[in-house]
Amino acid sequence: MTEAAFYNSINIFLESDRRKLKKLKDQYKTWQSAWKSLNSDQDVEKEWKKLSSVDAELILLEDKKYPGLLKEIADPPFGIYVVGSMPDNLDSALAIVGTRKATTEGKSIAKNFSNVLTQFGLPIISGLALGIDAAAHEGCLDAHGKTVAVLANGIGHIYPRTNERLAQKIIDNGGAIISEYPVGSPPLPYRFLERNRIVAGLSRGILVVEAPERSGSLVTARLALEQNREVFVIPGPIAHPNYKFSNQLIRKGAELVTKPEEILESFGIEMETKEQQNIFETDEEKIIFAAIEGSSSPLSVDKIQESTNLGTSAINRTLTVMILKNLVSETNNGYTIK
C-alpha cells in the first residue's frame, strides 16, 4: 500500500484532527510507520477503495501536484481529496466569499465579478455554500472557466444537497471539488471554519461580498491577511446588516472595490485586450456587454439597469448601437450575447 493509503486510514482513525496528525508525522516520519503504531484493525485497502468509488484522488503535502500557494500557509492539510481537476494556474486564483443569506443584488455582484474575472484567466475558489458561494461558482461556469469548491465535509457527499447539480457542473467543466476530510465525514460546525483556511490558502486574493456580523467570511478574510493575501471588499449601505462586517473590513484597511477592473489592476492584469478596444467604443458598451455576458439568461432593460446603474435612456441608446454592431441580440425575454 502507498503512503497516501496509510494517511487516508490515519485521517479516518483520528477524525482529521490536525494536531494529532502532526504529532504522529513528526514522531514517525512516514504515514506507514505511524499507522503501525496505532494498532488499529481498520482495513486500509478497503478504506482506500472507497476513494475510487467516488472518483476521488488523494494528494499528499509532499506531492508535486499539491497546490503551491496552499503549501505556504501555516497549517496546510497533510492531504487533500480531489474529485475533478485542479486548474493549472491556481497561483492566480481569486476566492469569493460572503453570506449564505445573500440579497439578490449581492448574488448578482458575486456572479458578475466572477464571470468577468474568469474571462481574464482567474480561477475562482469558493465553498459551494448557498448564497454568495454558489453565485461565484455559477458566474465562473457561465464564462466557461474553472472553479474549485472546498467542502467542509467528506469528499463524495455534497453539502448542501441543493448544490449537487452545481457540484457536478463544476467537475464536468474541468474544475474540482476538494476536501481535507475522508469519505463519509459529516459537515460538523467547526469544519466550516477549518475549511476557510483552505479557501484563503488556495487563492492569491479574496473578495468579500455581503459579510454580516459573525459571518464565516470574517475568519476567511482574517486568514487571508495572515497568509499575506490581498483582501478586496464590496462596500454597502451602513444600515444594512449584510454589510456590517464588510464595511468594518474596509475601515481596517481592506481594499474597497466596485468593479472587476480594480481587482485585475491590483493583480497587474490589463483589463482591455486590443480586440476589446476595437469592439467597444464607449464605457457604456463595455459595462452593458459585461452585464449581459455575466447573466445565465437574457436581461431586460430593467435588469440591465439594476446591474449597471446606468440610466434607461443611455441603456436603450447603447443597446441600439450594440445590436447594429452584432454584439447583442434582442429576444422575447430580453437581450443576450450575439
Q: Please report, for the domain that includes residue 155, its CATH number.
A: 3.40.50.450
Which amino acid does the sequence have at 178?
A: I
Residues 278 and 173 in one domain: no
In the numeric block, the cell 469569493 is attached to 96
Q: Distance between CA atoms of 103 and 319, rounded to whole angstroms?
A: 27
Look at residue 123 in the predicted model and tell me its pLDDT: 96
Q: Which CATH number characterizes residue 308's domain?
A: 1.10.10.10
- Domain final residue, candidates 233, 266, 299: 266
Residues 173 and 261 in one domain: yes
Q: Is residue 70 part of a domain?
A: no
Q: Is residue 250 part of a domain?
A: yes
Q: Model pTM?
A: 0.79
Q: Distance between CA atoms of 71 and 82, rounded to whole angstroms?
A: 16
Strand-pair category, 94-98 with 205-209: parallel
Structural domain of 14:
1-53
Mapping DSSP to helix (H, G, I), strand (E, B) and coil, where does residue 328 land? strand
Q: Is residue 69 part of a domain?
A: no
Residues 117 and 152 in one domain: yes
Q: Give, for 19, the enclosing helix (H) or strand (E).
A: helix 18-28
Compute, in degrees rounded to 10, the torsion defined by CA atoms 46, 66, 17, 75: 170
Residues 115 and 192 in one domain: yes
Q: Is residue 162 part of a domain?
A: yes
Q: Distance between CA atoms of 15 and 28, rounded to whole angstroms?
A: 19
- Domain final residue, candidates 266, 301, 327: 266
- Domain final residue, candidates 266, 292, 316: 266
Q: Is residue 78 part of a domain?
A: no
Look at residue 272 in the predicted model and tell me its pLDDT: 54
Render each residue's pLDDT in the chain as its tens digit; 338 residues: 899 999 999 999 999 999 999 999 999 999 999 999 999 999 999 999 999 999 999 999 999 999 999 999 999 999 999 999 999 899 999 999 999 999 999 999 999 999 999 989 999 999 999 999 999 999 999 999 999 999 999 999 999 999 999 999 999 999 999 999 999 999 999 999 999 999 999 999 999 999 888 778 878 888 888 888 999 999 999 889 999 989 998 988 899 999 999 999 999 987 654 345 457 878 888 889 988 988 878 999 999 998 888 999 999 999 988 887 788 889 988 999 86
Q: Is residue 213 part of a domain?
A: yes
Query: What total number of domains does the chain contain?
Result: 3
Residues 212 and 280 in one domain: no
Backbone angles phi, psi at 207, to 5 degrees: -110, 125
Residues 261 and 323 in one domain: no
- Output the CA angle 236-239-245, nearest 5 degrees: 60
Residues 100 and 138 in one domain: yes
Residues 218 and 300 in one domain: no
Look at residue 274 in the predicted model and tell me its pLDDT: 38
Q: Distance between CA atoms of 11 and 80, rounded to whole angstroms?
A: 11
Q: Is residue 249 part of a domain?
A: yes
Residues 325 and 252 in one domain: no
Residues 166 and 297 in one domain: no
Look at residue 297 in the predicted model and tell me its pLDDT: 84
Q: Distance between CA atoms of 156 and 178, rounded to whole angstroms?
A: 10
Strand-pair category, 79-84 with 176-179: antiparallel
Look at residue 273 in the predicted model and tell me its pLDDT: 47
Q: Is residue 66 part of a domain?
A: no
Residues 118 and 149 in one domain: yes
Residues 47 and 170 in one domain: no
Look at residue 308 in the predicted model and tell me its pLDDT: 87
